[in-house]
Structure 1
């Protein structure tokens, strides 16, 4: 897809005023392979970014050490390594109070998935449960595979892009195995391809007020066929997934921006703020205003807890001889 990569030093901007910044994958040359892998240190400070942002690319993280919290959309995962995590294009994420963070980061665009097109659907399915805590053998096996990716990427020998795609495919398939039966990509075929295209369309335009009929027209199928394909792949209807995408985007904007409720409504395709409020309450059980205030309280409580925790740690480090004044020998 065009616009998913950028040359080093290209500034990252928000698509629209008030939106979180959208980061593109940096490549050294315009025709370079849209892939990168390395440690949190070698990838750079953005790999640990503490502010909410989005990517035009996929990110897989193998966390081997550290404390803190990884936040993706509105889901929070406390760090108790080892972990394997996935961030999909367009998702809002950041690291909160991360200390000692270490591991391997894999970045790639959808264009990179040439040799194994079924990996697109597999990534979408893995994104439904994007955070795993690994047992010892799985952690060791994942570490070896990550090491191979780093080595192949660093050498850049002839055919390295094909090898990288193959190693990435192995990583995705092995990760799917951790989730039990029925989570592998479906056999290639027209319904699976239509469902995959709908998922990609949903990620790009699903929050702009598009209808199921409009999505079907963009894909080139009838609404009925789209419904059959999506239900076969996900067990849900296109309409339900569209509503979920709009609700999720509204939640992101309410929590991550200072946009007014009227502005949030417009961003997710509602001309009538009152109708948006009814939609949001039906989907979440809360009004937009109550939802925003609730998350502001939770954020303030977390910050207050963190300040108190740091205060206690600072107090514990003080010299005991200072407490209550020096005692005579």
Structure 2
């Protein structure tokens, strides 16, 4: 969806002065599956960026080699591979003094979790303890799963999309069983200005907002409704969410509505009118305009075309704003 994936050559929105860069997946066509896997080298230099930035997508990194520090939300983790790292949308991270960085990078948006929506909760919890050092057994099964994901992605054989979703589901669930970090993190100085991370109260408000809109109740896909449920003003909600995620509540609500519409179009036989009603847009004509604006295709074209085109592989990460 717009703000989550971007077509090659599409102009990116300018980064607000003082804000952190926001990275998005670059896809070759509007409804290509929002998933990519590769090494740090094949994904591209943005996968090991040395400057603080955010994502609009999830990133799972299996680190097998290298030295340096991975900084996530002002917490520095020394590299003593192997590691498994989960970075959730909105988290701030960068690689500091990293050399010889080796491993695999898995990138995907919430749209890719269409068969396993519960994985969003698993991933959110993993994002709270993002740096895991793997023992020999965990390193072995992680390596096997990542290798299978990579092989399915490269081959693109019949039914590979469902296989990728299943393998990713297994990886996420098994990662959730792993014990927390076994080493103490290192504090990192906070950046100044509006990009600074939120205080604990604001962070909890942003987390509750994210939880509310992750469901399928369209009555909660409104900034006012969420603010009332949480017990804060809409202005405070906007500030907290923007500080925690780099995006506005309205942007995230549009993404949640679009994600549910995609799920219903792809996985049910509901009519477009029924889908529109299910996502809280009673006017089918308005829903069609909304869906096209957010995805680049009409609901009918999305349903007929599915998620996959022959050129399914994503080759890069796009960054909003000018290069550093």
Aligned partners of 2:152, 2:211: CA distance in 1, in Å? 29
1:45 aligns with 2:77: no
Closer, same or farther in 2 for the Cα pair 1:149/1:171, shift >3 Å? same
- Asked if residue 217 in structure 1 is aligned to residue 225 in structure 2, the reply is yes
Give the structure 2 partner of residue 170 of structure 1: 170
Report the aligned-residue RMSD.
3.4
Which consecutive segments of 4 or more residues in structure 1 shift more than 6 A?
none
Question: 1:230-275 CA distances to partner (integer Å, 9 max, x unpaired)?
Answer: xxxxxxxx99xx89x949938x99xxxxxxxxxxxxx9xxxxxxxx
Over alpha carbons, which structure has the higher Rg? 1
SS across alignment from 2:143: helix
Q: 1:156 to 1:196 in 2, by over 3 A?
A: farther
Q: Deviations over 1:125-145 (max 9, x none)?
A: 111111100001100110000
Once the two structures are superposed, what CA deviation does each residue of 1:284-306 show, in whole Å capped at 9, x if it has no partner?
Answer: xxxxxxxxxxxxxxxxxxxxxxx
Choose from 246, 249, 252 the match for 2:243. 249
Between the aligned partners of 1:42 and 1:201, the Cα distance in structure 2 is: 36
Q: Which TM-score applies when normalising by structure 2?
A: 0.58
Q: Distance in 2 between matches of 1:122 and 1:146?
A: 18
C-alpha separation in 2, matches of 1:160 and 1:79: 33
Distance 1:202 1:115 in 2: 18
Gaps of 5+ in 1: 181-194, 204-211, 228-237, 254-266, 268-329
- 1:199 Cα deviation from its structure 2 partner: 2.1
Question: Which stretches in structure 2 are left out of the alignment for 5+ residues?
Answer: 181-205, 215-219, 249-324
Q: Hey, what's the Cα distance between the residues in 2 that align with 1:122 and 1:108?
A: 14
Contact conserved, 1:86 with 1:127, CA < 8 A, in 2? Answer: yes
Contact 1:12 1:24 in 2 (8 A): no
Distance 1:137 1:11, change over 3 A: farther
Larger helix proportion of the pair: 1
Q: Decide which of 182, 190, 209 is 1:198's aligned counterpart.
A: 209
Q: Does 1:20 align with 2:20?
A: yes
Deviation for aligned residue 1:2: 3.2
Count of paired positions: 214
Q: Is the 8 A contact 1:198 1:215 kept in 2?
A: no
Confirm or deny: 8 A CA contact 1:21 1:54 kept in the other structure: yes
Q: Determine the C-alpha separation between the residues in 2 that align with 1:124 and 1:247.
A: 15
Aligned to 1:298: none
Q: Distance in 2 between matches of 1:47 and 1:13?
A: 20
State the shift of 1:216 in Å: 6.8
Is the partner of 2:128 in helix, strand or coil?
A: coil
1:200: how far off? Answer: 5.2
The alpha carbon displacement at 1:196 in A equals 8.6
Kept in 1, the 8 Å contact 2:50–2:94? The answer is yes
- Structure 1 segment 89-238 matched on structure 2, within 5 A: 89-179=89-179, 198-199=209-210, 217-218=225-226, 223=229
> Alpha carbons of 1:248 and 1:128: their partners in 2 closer, same or farther (altered >3 Å)?
farther
CA drift at 1:171: 0.3
Q: Is the 8 A contact 2:132 2:179 kept in 1?
A: no
Q: Which has the higher contact order (CA 8 A, sep 6+)?
A: 2
Question: What is the CA-CA distance between 1:90 and the residue it aligns to?
Answer: 1.3
